[in-house]
Amino acid sequence: MSILGFLLFLIVAAACAWIAEAVVPGNVPGGFFVSAIIGIIGAWIGGSMVGNIGPSLAGVSVLPAILGSAVLVFATALLSRGFRRA
């Protein structure tokens, strides 16, 4: 994978995480890089849950990445809310 390919992968993964953050209630602290990490992990989780279905951009299957990122955003929001109360 080239550097440009990796940057496109990060951008698509971050966009999927941003869409997941807009859909799922809760807030994830951090900026673009945290969203990119959530998007990458979410793409892996979504790919494991549903497989590689739907359109693909820069090596990221968009629908499973959004689904996996939504699950990860929800879990992260629950955990961060629990840690703030303690």
Beta bridge partners of 7: none
Q: What is the pLDDT of residue 38?
A: 77
pLDDT value of position 27: 67
> Average pLDDT in the 56-72 region?
82
Task: Give me 33's structure tokens.
Answer: 């890089």
pLDDT at 10: 78
Beta strands in 9-83 (DSSP E): 56-57, 60-61
Packed helices 62-85 and 3-23: angle between N→C axes, nearest 10 degrees: 60
How much is the pTM?
0.74
